[in-house]
Structure 1
């Protein structure tokens, strides 16, 4: 009955109601809009909800169109939990809100007026909402009984079709985010794509633990110096090891002495400085991931491949990338992981799994942004390439698999990292296709 519904809605507004939920209800018209009336009983005909303003200040929806009491209005819509929030947020003194034609609220607790003292029509949304959709929202997104993500108990009910479609969009969104670092590097290097590739490769050769030290190493000298050394492997290694601070002048190792000789020559010739290079970490790393090994592999990669950027852009086949990035550390490292200690003989060649990481974190984001800079849409090519790579093994992908999500390739694992970090952890369930599906499974008015 009416009194029970009032009690229910009072509990909801005190316990879990959020403005983002009201934005969702308005944006997707998840209410009975066939017989709307303002709080002073004037009929409303909703023609256009407007454009959702998700990023900028100002009203929540721009360019809405509606008819109130046979008068057509075009303008903006502002949404609040209570109408008194208008004054709490000081909208009455902000010119950006002068063109608000409708105040959509959950509860109308006070009349609101413009600066010219004209009343802003209000729509009390709770009068037109099926309580089932509110209950579903509370159950899914406001539950305190959550271990990892809000919908973990219901996730197994979502079809692969819905998840796969969402994953493709999530992955392209992730590429857009990764593009931000590339744009920053391009700005700092006068749009030299070859330089940016080297810096990205350096960062990702360091993996997670040493990504910042490797990037600081790449930033410590001009890429033109590496170009000039590219025909001499010893000079390439001397440049990188010297700038990284790995060459001990007191070492008795002949390999180190030789590198020091080359480095001193380069240091004097190019006035090299390495004050900004961050310290490298060895602790808890597998020996094959030691920065000493990765530096030599990186040097050998550039010794083997001149004009690497053009080769990366031209390559589209996975086997071609395996060939392109097939590189090993120099001969000295066959019996070493560090400069001063010998180990059992083993060739230090990059693995396919490492090449997969390079493709995911360097090559594909770079190809994606480069195509955009040329006015081309490379989405199909990019999705085809990432789909050839196996699912990544990490805590996020493993957990989603345990919750029943089917993952077939790296596109899926990358997309679920994006989902967890940018939606689940932020509780942005109403912006998530999975959250929308679960919310509308029951109680939606369509």
Structure 2
């Protein structure tokens, strides 16, 4: 048989070996009362296990290896944390295990106790010729409850990892949730292509500075476009010239340094997504939304959350412009539903989760997951592959979880750590 040690961990954890007539390699009668808790940190593989050897019940740690000689190869001989192991579980006992103090460690050999069909299913998952994911032939038949429970877990894992960046930024902002939210929201207004310059823009002009001018939309627009580097050089139309005049005054007042204008990308973007239009929308959001993060914490209805963005109105200049001084056919410049949902997904969901996790408040964590259940699923190659395999996907809750599943489990063939893989291995 060909397998890594993880496979034996799985077999031991779920006791998927023949358990009748168990004996240690020294012929002592053995009964497994509890396999113990799987340990993912340093030290023995399973903790707080309970086994009966002969007439004595032992409680303690269990170490698992492919061969018993791996004990020495892995450096456990001189490691005191392994001195209280009550059972050594191996596939093949090729060398009796005796500790430095002379204690003989009871050993269970599994070489002839692992069912062939279990191994064959495992081998097919890990070493089969799949094109998308290891369990592509079986995942469509996995029951809904198993899928939901596992997708919930991997979705939380995804949000926990993403929330680390939020907490890091929060610490840099001295615990200011409003400022941190403002910075992340700005970055997400760039929709990947212009995420970096939008983030740099937000960091170049604090939200508190903008708040001082909320009653003057022209000054807000001047600060945003000026810091974005769009008000340098000669401008012809009256509107950008007014912006430039306002910005020159405010720049001196606050000693502002604009970001490099060349960072903004227009190529291969629909005009509706040009950074100038996104900046105009962002300016309007700043004008009409006081304490935006506080509002997000209060609003529970998805429609109301969408309205925070759908109701923003840009300056009338942009009705027939996509760039300064270049007139275009008239068109509405409101944010589309798809763009708004991306902002809800990448910013609001993340911050509700991060806020709840940071403050140990399950209410906001639950709200973040509920919001995902009310947002449509993303459409990309990974999601399309899962749909073609028979996986039902209707919401962002499922699509986000499946992205995590694919990128951090399927791609690394971590089927033994996956609830879906476990189900397939057990059922065949």
Answer whether TM exceeds 0.5 for this pair.
yes
Match of 1:48? 34
Count residues in correspondence.
426
Matched, 1:399 2:380: no
**Cα distance in 1 between the residues matched to 2:220 and 2:21:** 75
Q: Secondary structure at the match of 1:191?
A: coil
Match of 2:412? 426
**Cα distance in 2 between the residues matched to 1:277 and 1:115:** 69
**TM-score, scaled relative to structure 2:** 0.93
Query: Does structure 1 retain, via aligned residues, the 8 Å contact 2:349–2:369?
Result: no
Match of 1:97? 82
| Deviating more after overlay: 93-102 vs 190-199 | 93-102
Deviation string for 1:319-351 (max 9, x for gaps)?
211221222432222222222433221121111
Q: Secondary structure at the match of 1:106?
A: strand
Match of 1:27? 13
Deviation string for 1:104-132 (max 9, x for gaps)?
12222222332323232222122321111
| Deviating more after overlay: 272-281 vs 77-86 | 272-281
Query: Does structure 1 retain, via aligned residues, the 8 Å contact 2:201–2:259?
Result: no
Structure 2 segments unaligned to the other structure (5+ residues): none
Q: Secondary structure at the match of 1:408?
A: coil
Structure 1 segments unaligned to the other structure (5+ residues): 1-11
Query: Does structure 1 retain, via aligned residues, the 8 Å contact 2:6–2:416?
Result: yes
Query: Does structure 1 retain, via aligned residues, the 8 Å contact 2:230–2:261?
Result: no
How much has 1:439 moved relative to structure 2?
0.7
| Deviating more after overlay: 193-202 vs 334-343 | 334-343
Q: Secondary structure at the match of 2:243?
A: helix
Query: Does structure 1 retain, via aligned residues, the 8 Å contact 2:229–2:260?
Result: no
**Cα distance in 2 between the residues matched to 1:210 and 1:424:** 30
How much has 1:257 moved relative to structure 2?
2.8
How much has 1:198 moved relative to structure 2?
0.6
1:246-395 alignment to 2 at 5 Å? Answer: 246-274=230-258, 279-326=263-310, 327-378=312-363, 379-395=365-381
How much has 1:197 moved relative to structure 2?
1.3
Query: Does structure 1 retain, via aligned residues, the 8 Å contact 2:66–2:90?
Result: yes
- Seen in structure 2, the aligned counterparts of structure 1 residues 215 and 115 have a Cα distance that, compared at 3 Å, is farther
Deviation string for 1:20-46 (max 9, x for gaps)?
211111111111234322222222222
Deviation string for 1:222-247 (max 9, x for gaps)?
33212223222222222222222232
Match of 2:209? 225
Query: Does structure 2 retain, via aligned residues, the 8 Å contact 1:387–1:409?
Result: yes
**Cα distance in 1 between the residues matched to 2:57 and 2:258:** 67
**Cα distance in 1 between the residues matched to 2:194 and 2:5:** 42
How much has 1:317 moved relative to structure 2?
0.8
Deviation string for 1:202-254 (max 9, x for gaps)?
12111122223322222223332122232222222222222222323233343
**Cα distance in 2 between the residues matched to 1:65 and 1:317:** 50
How much has 1:175 moved relative to structure 2?
2.3
CA RMSD across the alignment: 2.1
How much has 1:65 moved relative to structure 2?
2.1
| Deviating more after overlay: 90-99 vs 180-189 | 90-99
How much has 1:305 moved relative to structure 2?
1.0
How much has 1:53 moved relative to structure 2?
1.4
Query: Does structure 2 retain, via aligned residues, the 8 Å contact 1:335–1:343?
Result: yes
Q: Secondary structure at the match of 1:72?
A: strand
| Deviating more after overlay: 72-81 vs 412-421 | 72-81
Match of 1:86? 71
**Cα distance in 1 between the residues matched to 2:228 and 2:159:** 30
Q: Secondary structure at the match of 1:313?
A: helix
Match of 1:58? 43
2:227 to 243, 249, 253: 243
Query: Does structure 2 retain, via aligned residues, the 8 Å contact 1:216–1:278?
Result: no
| Deviating more after overlay: 302-311 vs 337-346 | 337-346
How much has 1:101 moved relative to structure 2?
2.1
- Seen in structure 2, the aligned counterparts of structure 1 residues 159 and 67 have a Cα distance that, compared at 3 Å, is closer
**Cα distance in 2 between the residues matched to 1:21 and 1:422:** 18
Q: Secondary structure at the match of 1:281?
A: coil
**TM-score, scaled relative to structure 1:** 0.89
How much has 1:201 moved relative to structure 2?
0.7
How much has 1:278 moved relative to structure 2?
8.8
**Cα distance in 2 between the residues matched to 1:91 and 1:325:** 59
**Cα distance in 2 between the residues matched to 1:331 and 1:271:** 29
Matched, 1:181 2:161: no
**Cα distance in 2 between the residues matched to 1:112 and 1:211:** 58
Matched, 1:152 2:129: no
**Cα distance in 2 between the residues matched to 1:354 and 1:280:** 19
